[in-house]
Structure 1
Amino acid sequence: MSDIENEVFEKENATNKSSLLSSPNAVPNGSQIPRKQKKKWSKKRSIIILITLIVMTVWLLAIGIGVGFGLPELLEQKTKPLDQNETVRSGARNGNVNTGGLTINISHENQSEINREIVSVRDRIENTTELLKFQSTTLDPVDVERTRLEKELERKLKRKNDVDRTYLEDTTEAGLNTTAESRAQVTTKAVSYTSTDPTSVKVTTQLRLNETKIVDKVTDQPALEDIYEPEINSTTVPIVDANIPPKRKKNVRLVTVGAVAADHATCSDIGRDILDGGGSAVDAAIATLLCNGIMQPHSMGIGGGCFMVIYDQHRQAVDVINGREIAPEAAALDKYTNKSPLFGPLSIAVPGEVKAYWAAHQKYGKIPWKDLFAPSIKMARDGAPLSASAARGLRFIRNRLAKNLNTTLNQSYPELCEIYCDENGDILKENSTIYRRAFAETLQGLADEGPDYLYSGEGARKLIKDIKKFNGIITMDDLKNYKLKDTRAISYQYGNITMHTLGAPSGGPVMGLILKIMEGFNFTADDLSSLDKKTAMFHKMIESFKFVYADRLKLADPLFVNLEDLMNKMVSPEYADFLRQQIDTSSTHNTTYYTNLTSGNWDSYGTTHISIIGPDGDAVAVTSTINYYFGSLLYSPSTGIILNNEMADFSFPDKTVLDQLKSQTSNYVAPGKTPLSSMCPAIFVDNNGEAVLVMGSSGGARITTVNSQVAARILWLDQSVKEAIQTLRFHHQLFPNHIIFEEKFPKDVMNLLHTQYGHKYTERTTYMAVVQGIARDLTTREIQAFSDERKHGKASFLQRNVTVVN
């Protein structure tokens, strides 16, 4: 050591000598302490004292906050409400906390410790469950917590000095050997919780919370170099005989969350794709209907009209839209004195289809209006195959016209034949490619400009020019003045199921009243178990049809005929009871038994229906028509639109229109009036606010009776939507007074209805109405959909991957 260093050391030694000797740890006289070692030892001592003061200060502050300043009140503000039980049990206080499906019960002698543990346990569980999406019903909380805590324990056991942290099985304080100079004090507290996750078995398990302190063996003070921060290590231990369930397998499977049922597979797929792309049920309906106008042109299109029912599950509200055609201003009874309104220019009513689409989209649309037209524009421009049902429609009108009106398609309706006839003038066959480029231009105009294009714009001018060439009576003012009519939405209650549909002039009141009468007969699946039971049930159904069809003859456009009393009666449960009591369950009767009216009418063969349920639970039912097959048989070459023959649905004095019979004055034609219709789209909703059945059909006067049969089979006869739609059906509309059975209907049933109950009947050689339905299983809540194969329809399903626990 140099002289300078010696001098400095002696000065420092003289300064600190008295304090060193007075210290309890002072070195005895005569002991030699190396100077550098002494300097190091003093610094370490200072650090230890400083750390000890900080730790004790923090500890005292924590106790003061917990006890003196109302930790429970602080927890009340910062965490979920606590349900603490102050009852003393075996000398211990108790507390519990509810969080995320777990109930945690904590026992401790000190209430502040309960508070502290509540905070810690809650933070651990809530952080874990948030991270692992504990709220999902596909996760088992027992598995989640056990897995996390086991991993945490494994990590913490690999601590300094390899301390053996054995978990104790009772609430005690015990010592564990750590190092030669220190020992561990471990306080173990039992905490229990019960899993209440709906997908798992209820199992009570136990969390064991260990608070560890490392202390000096001699002084019983914290050994600073070996101290561990207080921590909670947890594991799951069964209480009494309860067993922790094994970790359950989680499988991913496809679940149907939405569906589109249309009478053509391509159109169902387009609607499904709209749903899958985030579109609403209304968006999907519009895109599907536009497609139907191309794939099923004999049944519907923008040259016709529709009824629409919309169910908004979020609001649990129903909207109805009446987009039906109306008579032009020039329409008057005298114009039809010597001319048939079935085909040709006088049969065309002012179309309302596009106006209905627009109104629905303005309120419920999510996808831009223009995007809904793109798939159909492409098909019209690039060509689409002639569907089987459209080819059948062509055969039907060709044969029928030649037989009854002494004309042929290519002779009287050359414009339509340009699209649907070959070079020899014969109708095209199934799968022939149909190009409708003029129609593609019209759809593009509607996509770009909205409905104004067809009602006041360039499309309207083209359409009116063609109608004038046909000697039609619709004018530009008729198009400009067309407005959707406010129509009453009506509801019928069947147990805990409510049916929503439209009032007059739709067939909704007819279908609803028929089902209300049927409900009182308490039909069950047992009524299908034998020939006698089945036939007795069918007789009651048929008699229900006849009574309600007597009231149908009085229906009309409520804006022209006062129907308030009649409508109130038809939606009344008491009136349904009254009619049911009039039914003779052993025999049928002649028409005067049901009504004093002496005439009725048959109506159209065409029409189409679509049903939709979206992933958000919203539902849409739309029935659309141009009335007869290919409507008026007039095709606008400038716009590509096939025009309706809806005027044929009006009644005319002393005139029989093809296979119609005379009707009542309430349905006589008048300017601006909507003709009576059988179309009745319907949505059934349960008491949970979910749409459980969305349905409708095409088929003229047979729509209401067929809808009723299908709905009854689903609601009361325990049949799936597929079974109910596939089953053979029958129809009766009072005039004429006989049953019409679908082809291949069981002969034994028909014969028994005739011999035992007195019914007359005929067999139909073609299908009877076409139903599109979507149903939700009332037990599993899964969505089922089926499109009637009578018209080669096919439903399309929106499916999503969902994790399920086995």
Structure 2
Amino acid sequence: MNQSKELTREIHPSNSEKEVNSSNNGKKQQECNKYIYSRWMVFLVLMSSIAVTLYFHNGKHNSPVKNNSAEFLMPPNPQRTDTKPVPSYTQLHIFKQAAVCSDSQVCSQVGRYIFEKNGSIVDATLATMFCSGLSNMQSMGIGGGFIMNLYIKQEGKAYTLDAREISAKASTRDMHLHDPTTTNEGPLSIATPGELKGYWEAHKRFGKLKWNEIIQPTIDICKNGFEMSKHMYDSLHTNSKVKMDKQLRQMYVDEHSNEFYKPGTIIKPDKLCRTLEIIAEQGGDSLYIGKLAEMFASDLKDMGSIITKHDLEEYEVRWNDSIPIDINGDIMYVIPPPASGILVSYIVNILKNYNFKPEDISSVNSTILTYHRIIEAFKHTYGKRTQIGDPKYVNIDDLVKNLTSSEYAENIRLTIDENSTKDGPQDYGGQFYIKDSHGTAHISVLGPNGDAISVTSSVNFYFGAAMTGNRTGIIVNSGMDDFSSPGLLNYFGLPGSERNYIQPQKRALSSMAPTIVVGKDGNVKLVVGAAGGTKITTAVAMIIIKMLWFNNDIKEAVDTPRIHHQLIPMALQYEFGNLDGVLQGLESKGHKTFRYRERGSIVCGIAQNGTGIYANADFRKGGEVVGF
């Protein structure tokens, strides 16, 4: 590897700790754009002349990060006063009629192909999702579940399709107390998947092309094999159980070295390919009733799961109206509970009467106050998050009314102290801990007729439960980890929310927040959503804020280094690239801060105005946008 690539790799803000270490071992990484590289080379020359000691950022400093094989320096927070973010290597794509944004360039191309065949917005989205469930099986797939926000321009209305996983009929609230690790690994972590049933129901209602036509591109990719992505490779290292599953081991592990195959390796999941062919022939309900359902039920039984054939037969999706929120004349459509759309609306409603404008982030001092206000809105919002539950099992009518009310949010805004923050979760209504998840993917689509879809799908953790059906080749989710259990405390000694306790055939609280913003003329202005567990809500809210109030384009909004506060832990989490002066200013107001090194949230965003369609895929994961 030449020296310039290696240096760029070491310092690029999207790299995780493992990625930086891998550069020291000579592993390949995509070269960042020349603009970023040149700026960092200046930094390296300056830094080479002085000794640098880095401390954990508890006020002013960063800490050295150590690894078993190497020690390396973490770049300090930027000192510059220019608040404009350094652009990433991704392109701002511009189209005239339609756009598809996903975690995979190939899958985005599949979506465009379906549009070109005169498919509907649902046809194109489902084709993209089938493909993503294959090429990004670490994040989503037919063994998981999704939530879709669908805007139909001709109707001037948006719908929510909830196809999330549900607990098995035999589930009990104390089923994990004997061993808390069973919530996120092993057979008791598996929830009844809803992904494929959701595809089927969406296609029946809004599809135009034949069912098999939207699956065939994925079948072709499956049979020919696809390249392992860098994100998939990184995800393998986060779930050690992958090596214990026979089929996953065959796909991803070199038996001679016992190491994972490298990015670029061709993956061919033969059994899953055959399952997709059966689904194309027999329909999307074939995994729930019929011979394929029997095969899948047998797979689950062999794994030790409590999910039965009857659980599959009784699974039902939920159709709801998306919730319209007025934002100064624009309409923001958010999804109802048990997902987190109402949390996005709460953040935006708290902040909208500040009447933010671009000048509010044009200098370090103005950014400090603006970010302080935003962080306080985050904290109030996460204080409400654990009050959300499945509305079929708990009454949350008043909660939904409050979190979507401008008046209620304004009363909260008036309590925000401009000069200081508070340290107690109870000051923001927080009583329970918040679980996190990582195995998630998001897809945003805008069609040529003005319809739009924002959809988030998940298997919960990377590669779900790390268990694969011996007959079907389906990777199953670890969705039970999204529930709370009585008697189990988190690291901070806080219990889980009773509203999110396990009950038979219940949906768990979800961080998913696929969102669509529509202008006064009925035309879509923004299609946005994210992957990233509890960081989803704040990421989506920040994109909306930056687009609507700070006049960012979609690339600027996605590229900007993110901030996140979920109340517990009581600290502002921030990405590399946030200015040191801003962070010091926030610390002077009482905010404790720490920098996270993982990718955090991954956004797919599409924006539209009178001049065209603008789209950007997040550099943090390496997806792509296509359109026409």
- Give the equivalent residue in structure 2 for 1:625: 458
SS of the residue corresponding to residue 569 of structure 2 reads coil
Kindly indicate whether the alpha-carbon contact (under 8 Å) linking 2:120 and 2:206 is maintained by their aligned counterparts in 1.
Answer: yes
Kindly indicate whether the alpha-carbon contact (under 8 Å) linking 2:101 and 2:626 is maintained by their aligned counterparts in 1.
Answer: yes
User: Cα gap change, 1:672/1:658 in structure 2, threshold over 3 Å: closer, same or farther?
Assistant: farther
Kindly indicate whether the alpha-carbon contact (under 8 Å) linking 2:163 and 2:195 is maintained by their aligned counterparts in 1.
Answer: yes
1:470 is displaced (CA, Å) by: 1.5
Structure 1: how far apart are the matches of 2:565 and 2:422? 13
1:707 is displaced (CA, Å) by: 0.5
Kindly indicate whether the alpha-carbon contact (under 8 Å) linking 1:488 and 1:504 is maintained by their aligned counterparts in 2.
Answer: no
Structure 1, unaligned stretches of length 5 or more?
Answer: 1-253, 399-407, 799-806
Matched, 1:762 2:604: no
- Percent pairwise identity: 35
Structure 1: how far apart are the matches of 2:431 and 2:382? 12
1:344 is displaced (CA, Å) by: 0.9
Alignment counterpart, residue 560 of structure 2, candidates 727, 745, 749 = 727
User: Cα gap change, 1:497/1:482 in structure 2, threshold over 3 Å: closer, same or farther?
Assistant: same
SS of the residue corresponding to residue 316 of structure 2 reads coil
Structure 1: how far apart are the matches of 2:493 and 2:468? 25
- Give the equivalent residue in structure 1 for 2:140: 300
- Give the equivalent residue in structure 2 for 1:312: 152
1:437 is displaced (CA, Å) by: 1.2
SS of the residue corresponding to residue 96 of structure 2 reads strand
Matched, 1:501 2:334: yes
| One-letter amino acid of the structure 2 residue matched with residue 347 of structure 1 | S
- Give the equivalent residue in structure 2 for 1:479: 312
Structure 2: how far apart are the matches of 1:528 and 1:596? 29
1:446 is displaced (CA, Å) by: 1.1
Structure 2: how far apart are the matches of 1:513 and 1:474? 36
Kindly indicate whether the alpha-carbon contact (under 8 Å) linking 1:455 and 1:480 is maintained by their aligned counterparts in 2.
Answer: yes
Correspondence 1:116-155 to 2 at 5 A: none
1:551 is displaced (CA, Å) by: 1.1
Matched, 1:794 2:616: no
Correspondence 1:408-423 to 2 at 5 A: 409-410=242-243, 412-423=244-255
Kindly indicate whether the alpha-carbon contact (under 8 Å) linking 2:383 and 2:425 is maintained by their aligned counterparts in 1.
Answer: no
| Partner deviation per Cα, 1:278-329 (whole Å, 9 max, x = no partner) | 1111111000001101111110001000000111111212111000000001
Structure 1: how far apart are the matches of 2:426 and 2:146? 34
Structure 2: how far apart are the matches of 1:481 and 1:490? 27
- Give the equivalent residue in structure 1 for 2:189: 347
Matched, 1:637 2:470: yes
| Partner deviation per Cα, 1:348-382 (whole Å, 9 max, x = no partner) | 00000111111111121111111000111111122
| One-letter amino acid of the structure 1 residue matched with residue 416 of structure 2 | I
Backbone CA RMSD of aligned residues: 1.6
Structure 1: how far apart are the matches of 2:544 and 2:417? 23
User: Cα gap change, 1:628/1:266 in structure 2, threshold over 3 Å: closer, same or farther?
Assistant: same
Correspondence 1:54-453 to 2 at 5 A: 256-339=96-179, 340=181, 341-398=183-240, 409-410=242-243, 412-424=244-256, 425-453=258-286
User: Cα gap change, 1:646/1:681 in structure 2, threshold over 3 Å: closer, same or farther?
Assistant: same
Kindly indicate whether the alpha-carbon contact (under 8 Å) linking 2:95 and 2:627 is maintained by their aligned counterparts in 1.
Answer: no
| Larger Rg belongs to | 1
Structure 1: how far apart are the matches of 2:491 and 2:211? 40
1:708 is displaced (CA, Å) by: 0.5
| Partner deviation per Cα, 1:202-230 (whole Å, 9 max, x = no partner) | xxxxxxxxxxxxxxxxxxxxxxxxxxxxx
TM-score normalised by structure 1 residue count? 0.65
Kindly indicate whether the alpha-carbon contact (under 8 Å) linking 1:342 and 1:658 is maintained by their aligned counterparts in 2.
Answer: no
Alignment counterpart, residue 606 of structure 2, candidates 769, 774, 790 = 774
User: Cα gap change, 1:745/1:396 in structure 2, threshold over 3 Å: closer, same or farther?
Assistant: farther
1:594 is displaced (CA, Å) by: 3.0
Structure 2: how far apart are the matches of 1:716 and 1:326? 38
TM-score normalised by structure 2 residue count? 0.83
SS of the residue corresponding to residue 559 of structure 1 reads coil
Structure 1: how far apart are the matches of 2:499 and 2:122? 33
Kindly indicate whether the alpha-carbon contact (under 8 Å) linking 2:111 and 2:127 is maintained by their aligned counterparts in 1.
Answer: yes
SS of the residue corresponding to residue 297 of structure 1 reads coil
Structure 2: how far apart are the matches of 1:429 and 1:529? 43
- Give the equivalent residue in structure 1 for 2:551: 718
Structure 2: how far apart are the matches of 1:635 and 1:658? 31
Correspondence 1:630-669 to 2 at 5 A: 630-656=463-489, 662-669=495-502
Matched, 1:556 2:396: no
Matched, 1:783 2:619: no
| Partner deviation per Cα, 1:5-39 (whole Å, 9 max, x = no partner) | xxxxxxxxxxxxxxxxxxxxxxxxxxxxxxxxxxx
User: Cα gap change, 1:659/1:453 in structure 2, threshold over 3 Å: closer, same or farther?
Assistant: farther
SS of the residue corresponding to residue 607 of structure 1 reads strand
SS of the residue corresponding to residue 771 of structure 1 reads strand
- Give the equivalent residue in structure 1 for 2:26: none
| One-letter amino acid of the structure 2 residue matched with residue 313 of structure 1 | K
Q: Highest relative contact order (Cα 8 Å, sep 6+), 1 or 2?
A: 2
1:346 is displaced (CA, Å) by: 0.3
Structure 2: how far apart are the matches of 1:761 and 1:559? 38
Kindly indicate whether the alpha-carbon contact (under 8 Å) linking 2:233 and 2:263 is maintained by their aligned counterparts in 1.
Answer: yes
User: Cα gap change, 1:495/1:555 in structure 2, threshold over 3 Å: closer, same or farther?
Assistant: same
| One-letter amino acid of the structure 2 residue matched with residue 337 of structure 1 | L
| Partner deviation per Cα, 1:147-188 (whole Å, 9 max, x = no partner) | xxxxxxxxxxxxxxxxxxxxxxxxxxxxxxxxxxxxxxxxxx
